[in-house]
């Protein structure tokens, strides 16, 4: 069991310790605090302070007192169940580290599956128009921009606190739009012209128990009403209106929505609806295409 008092004393003798010992102690402390990924989190925090990647941590010079103090403060914050990404100040997504903190949803690795699915769909399109609805930190928009510097990317977000982080992460190259992603007025000028919509909206059914780390995400980013579909239901119609004929959408959803979300996409008039699972086999996202010839007449379907 971690002993808070002895941790302070131990830190007084840090000059005798290397990162390996400090990480081991921190991992014990995080385990005692109920952190599942205690060892990995301790290593990430040590890497952040040492300024090295995980492969090099074993060879990093022993930390001085300032570094140990900083490490100890970060471990204490993580032990209080602040998300690791908030403690570090960034979250990795695709090939970038995005700035995150209070008021914005921390991007999750499984959302990268939408990017993997989408990029090949843009392969034959020059200067594609891409819309990230419910953009949060801008994870999806940023990933597309990383891979397709020719894309025109729009990122829609409703919450002022999230917009602060979104503007910071998409300072160059994307258009940040403050508004309700479900409203027909939002990006109306793009109706029938969008090549790709990516969206990871709030979708957790209200009342679902969540870990302290998920509870640190804004409730408006996580919960989607009693059945989790309050945002998705109107959103699919907005998506159908935005897409050009032949345009594609990928929408992330709760693992209880493996049938409901594909059915909503069909009801919105979209074709080629496919349900996808994540790497642990859980229903995770659905994709669809707007029927029609890309060169044909454009116009909303809903
Ligand atoms: C689950 S988070 C996803 C953020 C980001 N796309 C990602 O994958 O990390 C959902 C985001 O949608 C925003 N949001 C919720 N309802 C919205 C609405 N009606 N219009 C625009 N944004 C909305 C929330 O503020 C939050 O930032």
What secondary structure does DSSP assign to the chain, as a single string?
---HHHHHHHHHTGGG--HHHHHHHHHHHHHHTT-TTHHHHHHHHHHHHHT--GGGGGGSPPP-HHHHHHHHHHHHHHHTT--HHHHHSEEEETTEEEE--TTSPPP-GGGHHHHHHHHHHTTT-SS-EEEEES-TTTHHHHHHHHH-TT-EEEEEE--HHHHHHHHHHTTTTEEEEES-TT-TTTTGGGTT-EEEEEE----BPTT----HHHHTS-HHHHB-STTS-TTHHHHHHHHHHHEEEEEEEEEE--TT-TTHHHHHHHHTT-EEEEEEE-TTS-EEEEEEE--S-TTS------
**Percent of the chain clearing pLDDT 70 (strictly above):** 92
For ligand 1, whether the C-beta of 176 sits within 6 Å is no
Min mean pLDDT across 6-10, 115-119, 142-146, 186-190 is at: 6-10
14-23 pLDDT, tens digit each: 455 789 999 9
Q: For CATH 1.10.8, list the domain ranges present in the chain.
A: 4-81
Work out the pLDDT band at 302, boundaries 50, 70, 90.
very low
Mean pLDDT, all residues of the chain: 92
For ligand 1, whether the C-beta of 140 sits within 6 Å is yes
User: Per-residue pLDDT for 231 more than 80?
Assistant: yes
Atom of ligand 1 nearest to the CA of 222: 1
For ligand 1, whether the C-beta of 134 sits within 6 Å is yes
Measured by CA distance, the residue closest to atom 2 of ligand 1 is: 221
Which residues are known binding-site members for S-adenosyl-L-methionine? 157, 200
**Percent of the chain clearing pLDDT 90 (strictly above):** 85
141-168 pLDDT, tens digit each: 999 999 999 999 999 999 999 999 999 9
Q: For CATH 3.40.50.150, list the domain ranges present in the chain.
A: 90-289
* pLDDT confidence of residue 294: 72
Homologous superfamily in CATH for domain 90-289: Vaccinia Virus protein VP39 (3.40.50.150)
User: Per-residue pLDDT for 7 more than 70?
Assistant: no
46-58 pLDDT, tens digit each: 999 999 998 999 8
* pLDDT confidence of residue 289: 98
Please tell me which residue, 293 or 93, carries the higher pLDDT value. Answer: 93
Work out the pLDDT band at 12, boundaries 50, 70, 90.
very low
User: Per-residue pLDDT for 94 more than 80?
Assistant: yes
For ligand 1, whether the C-beta of 107 sits within 6 Å is yes
* pLDDT confidence of residue 292: 86
* pLDDT confidence of residue 151: 98
* pLDDT confidence of residue 58: 87
* pLDDT confidence of residue 300: 39
177-227 pLDDT, tens digit each: 999 999 999 999 999 999 999 999 999 999 999 988 888 999 999 999 999
* pLDDT confidence of residue 295: 63
To test the pocket of ligand 1, the residue of 83, 115, 221, 235 to mutate (highest count of ligand atoms within 8 Å of its CB) is 221
For ligand 1, whether the C-beta of 169 sits within 6 Å is no
Atom of ligand 1 nearest to the CA of 181: 20
Q: 3.40.1000, 1.10.3470, 1.10.8, 1.10.10: which CATH number matches 4-81?
A: 1.10.8
User: Per-residue pLDDT for 11 more than 80?
Assistant: no
Work out the pLDDT band at 4, boundaries 50, 70, 90.
very low
For ligand 1, whether the C-beta of 115 sits within 6 Å is no
* pLDDT confidence of residue 296: 54
Say how many Å lie between the CA of residue 134 and the centre of ligand 1.
Answer: 3
Say how many Å lie between the CA of residue 135 and the centre of ligand 1.
Answer: 5
For ligand 1, whether the C-beta of 199 sits within 6 Å is no
For ligand 1, whether the C-beta of 156 sits within 6 Å is yes
Please tell me which residue, 31 or 302, carries the higher pLDDT value. Answer: 31
């Amino acid at each position: 069991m971690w002993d808070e008092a002895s941790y302070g004393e131990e830190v007084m003798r840090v000059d005798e310790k290397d990162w390996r010992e400090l990480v081991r102690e921190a991992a014990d402390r995080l385990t005692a605090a109920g952190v599942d990924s205690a060892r990995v989190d301790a290593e990430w925090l040590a890497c952040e302070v040492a300024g090295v990647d995980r492969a090099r941590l074993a060879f990093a010079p022993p930390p001085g007192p300032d570094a140990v103090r900083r490490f100890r403060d970060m471990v204490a914050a993580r032990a209080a169940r602040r998300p690791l990404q908030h403690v570090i100040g960034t979250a990795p997504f695709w090939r970038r580290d995005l700035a995150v903190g209070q008021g914005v949803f921390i991007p999750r690795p499984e959302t990268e599956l939408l990017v993997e699915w989408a990029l090949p769909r843009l392969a034959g399109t020059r200067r594609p128009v891409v819309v990230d609805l419910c953009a949060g930190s801008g994870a999806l928009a940023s990933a597309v921009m990383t891979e397709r510097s020719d894309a025109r990317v729009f990122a829609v977000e409703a919450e002022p606190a999230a917009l602060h982080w979104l503007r910071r992460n998409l300072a160059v190259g994307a258009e940040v739009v403050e508004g309700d992603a479900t409203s027909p007025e939002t990006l109306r000028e793009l109706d029938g012209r969008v090549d790709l919509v990516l969206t990871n909206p709030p979708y957790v059914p209200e009342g679902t128990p969540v870990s302290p780390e998920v509870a640190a995400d804004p409730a408006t980013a996580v919960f989607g009403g009693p059945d989790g579909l309050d945002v998705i239901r109107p959103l699919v119609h907005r998506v159908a209106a935005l897409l050009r004929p032949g345009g594609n959408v990928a929408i992330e959803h709760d693992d209880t929505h493996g049938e409901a979300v594909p059915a909503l996409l069909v009801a919105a008039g979209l074709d080629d609806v496919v349900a996808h699972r994540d790497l642990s086999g859980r229903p995770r996202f659905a994709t669809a295409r707007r029927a029609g010839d890309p060169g044909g007449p454009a116009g909303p379907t809903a």
